Structure 1
């Protein structure tokens, strides 16, 4: 079997004996294809006086969870919860917590935190790169370079464009911050538009205001959670309302966009292009037509994949461990209770 450098680097930590009653228990599932050991090491660097244990197998998780009071990980199944007799805090390593058994955690009095904010810089840069790619039409230049074809093509300017950002959480705000120097008009879409935001204009999800915003949009950035409101938000009607020069950038969740309607819009030229870090279905099947469009950029749910991702997660965990030791009532990114 070929060697995996990322796994080899952490062979030593993989063979470490289990720690009894760790201060922080890390569950085994990683993300972005990055070894979860990097997350463990980052927490240990920030909490050198504490014991931090990685449960590498399902059996190890079931055993360690029985005595753990502070647990962090990507997911937390109900079967683990049955054994979590001493659990007090679960630090979810995702910004979204809809996949967790929140009601059951509430019933047990478990405090839940999330990873809100860790994706701001990395995904904000991804969105900016996607927008600039379509603005300057680098994909056209790349195609002509491969053909060794010296032939001019028309590009666009970002300055003076209208960018609509759906979702003004940490990621949406990071996108707006990075767009500010480019002289664009920005429209923010959020559940509570009365709260305002970092955009020139803030509207809600429904009504004529949203349709009017789509009609004025050059770049539509989806940075919202998947909810009953946002599922299928960008449907056939929304794609028709967008102008033919509009570009869709989706770093939210695949089902926010009606995939069949998007394929139809791309085929008929109703929109100029799309940058998709998430798709529906996901992973995107090899025979899916979205792979075949020259004006579609596809990345494999990869926008948050940078070395700093686990570092920012570890910052939250370390801060909350210290807050608990100091008997502080509120934790960083506390979502429940």
Structure 2
């Protein structure tokens, strides 16, 4: 049963190079009358989780879960939960929540920056600046372009919101197109529909989870179908793109360029050919970083902790994961 006062145990792993103590401080600020404790070592995790019913963390190791005798809610600090022992949690009746929505603003800005970089060809200007070369070059204009966004979750919606003032046409791809979305057009994942969209796409934004449907979605057929003046922006997961097909498309000028925050493999080996293309922007899975990460996460988790005290497992938790 829920404790009469909020009691949250935070596990030791942080993210994006930010100390986990910042997350604990954000939770304590939002739960001033509750108890927020930090298990700072592996031994402390195994000991503290024994009587913890509401636990927050990035990961949940098997030995830590083995020690959890009272666990009822695990508040995952990532949007994705595929790394968690979901089957074991389901067997034990543990409610799992995630951090969906935390990344929307920062990744939306990352995508917009990548698109504008290629539209105005800032990478060409930067190269000529390094050479101290005053020579004009041609650029593109974003207005009137077609942007296809694969995945209309929190990130896809944030991207769409930020594109709205630029006068672009947007196509959204989602599992349930009948639900509609913020884009001008919404389609499903049927191959014919996706290829039809690719043929008229100027900027392809991948913001979907990695599933059986999306793995290898952008393969050689897709590369041959997409408009050759198109740019691909991947902030989803590396395997959504067939890497060999991407390298082949870049070498054959089948696409104008790519902005990759995620790759397959990841990290990208030093000798990989993707490093060598002038029309490829690579960032080290960094789009998710924001100094406001723990604050946004704490808003969700603190709210759910209060609901848990009031209603137990019958609470209408924000970001509840169906497992």
TM-score bin (small chain): over 0.9
Count residues with an aligned counterpart.
317
Counterparts of 1:33-48 in structure 2 under 5 Å?
A: 33-48=17-32
Asked whether the 8 Å contact 2:146–2:201 carries over to 1, the reply is yes
Report the equivalent of 1:326.
310
Conservation of the 8 A alpha-carbon contact between 2:30 and 2:299: yes
Aligned twin of 2:295:
311
Distance 2:114 2:240 in 1: 18
Question: Aligned residue for 2:191?
Answer: 207
Unaligned runs of 5+ in 2: none
- Residue aligning to 2:208: 224
8 Å Cα contact 2:12/2:39 also seen in 1: yes
Q: State the partner residue of 2:237.
A: 253
Deviation at 1:22, TM superposition (A): 8.4
Alignment correspondent of 1:28? 12
Q: Secondary structure at 1:155's aligned position in 2?
A: coil
- Measured against aligned partners, the alpha-carbon deviations of 1:64-113 in whole angstroms (never above 9, x if no partner) come to 11111111111112222111100111001111111111121112111110
Q: Does 1:58 pair with 2:8? A: no
Q: Give the TM-score, by structure 2 length.
A: 0.96
Q: 1: CA distance between counterparts of 2:67 and 2:193?
A: 49
Gaps of 5+ in 1: 1-20
Match of 2:278 in 1: 294
1:180 aligns with 2:168: no
Contact 2:6–2:33 under 8 Å retained in 1 = no
The structure, 1 or 2, with the larger RCO (C-alpha pairs under 8 Å, 6+ apart) is 2
5 Å matches for 1:1-337? 23-327=7-311, 329-336=315-322
Shift of 1:312: 0.4
Q: Following TM superposition, by how much is the alpha carbon of 1:32 offset from its aligned partner in structure 2, in angstroms? A: 1.4
Distance in 2, Cα, partners of 1:178 & 1:118: 16
Whole-angstrom CA distance in 1 between matches of 2:76 and 2:216: 26
Specify whether residues 22 and 321 from structure 1 end up closer, same or farther in structure 2 by C-alpha distance, changes over 3 A only. Answer: closer
**Alpha-carbon distance in 2 for matches of 1:200, 1:287:** 41
Checking the alignment, whether the CA contact within 8 Å between 1:135 and 1:156 is kept in structure 2 is yes
SS at structure 2 position matched to 1:30: coil
Aligned partners of 1:45 and 1:151: how far apart in 2?
Answer: 54
Contact 1:22-1:53 within 8 A present in 2 as well: no
Q: Give the CA deviation at 1:190.
A: 0.5
Compute the TM-score of the two structures, normalised by the length of structure 1: 0.92
